[in-house]
Amino acid sequence: MIKIILADDHDLVRGGIRRILDDVSDFKVVGEAKNGEDTVKLCRKNPPDVVLMDVNMPGIGGLEATKKILRMSENTRVICFSAQKENPIPSQVMSAGAYGFLTKDAEPEEVIRAIYKVHSGQKYLDNEIAHSIAMGVLKPADESPFNDLSTRELNIALQLSRGKRVPDIATELNINAKTVNTYRYRMFKKLQVENDVELTHLALRYKLIDTNAL
């Protein structure tokens, strides 16, 4: 039996994935979470075999949660998923130690196949991304200015791009607003933007977010 934890801040998404997994006799969903912190707590309490993790969640987010989980348990495999397939998201996901990456429009059969593969110790990438890498089509990571951001900076950049206020981000990350603004200043310098509006336009340009997220 493969024990699985689902992590996504949208009930509808988690419900849809759970229905897929409940139809597989080898799978057992042992927990669900809406943010990175709760995912880490669940994994600490009851280490799963596989975590299906949304990259863009409130709080510490999927990337930082992935790193924390893998530090706690060497045997847990993480598959991250996102609506965005352009770099730097796939590159950062794999650099964080995830064993797989799927887009949110993946077919049920692909989700099931990915879980079996990572559980057996194999890496798994979304078909389109794997093909793009093989053909050299995927833009090199250094073509995206966001690739120069740290995991924490990228997480904050994504939240600011979605209109989150600095005090709210600070509360979710359990840090003070001054620290968030320090990260914000560093991001602006790296990305060569001057305000949150320019940051959002840049995130849209490089397809880190879409208009549905605004």
Q: What is the per-residue pLDDT across 176-209, written as a single tens digit (0 to 9) for each?
A: 999 999 999 999 999 999 999 999 988 888 777 7
What is the per-residue pLDDT across 11-38, written as a single tens digit (0 to 9) for each? 988 999 999 999 999 999 999 999 999 9
CATH class of 2-135: alpha beta
Nearest to 180 by CA among 166, 193, 200, 192: 166
What pTM was computed for the model?
0.72
In a 10 Å sphere around its CB, with 0-12 CB exposed, 13-18 middle and 19+ buried, how is residue 197 labelled? exposed
Nearest to 81 by CA among 6, 134, 25, 148: 6
CB-CB contact of 95 with 115 (8 Å): no
Topology annotation, domain 144-213? Arc Repressor Mutant, subunit A (1.10.10)
Rounded to the nearest integer, the mean pLDDT of the chain is: 86
Domain ranges of the chain: 2-135, 144-213
Res 131: pLDDT: 61
Residues of the chain with pLDDT under 50: 135, 137-142
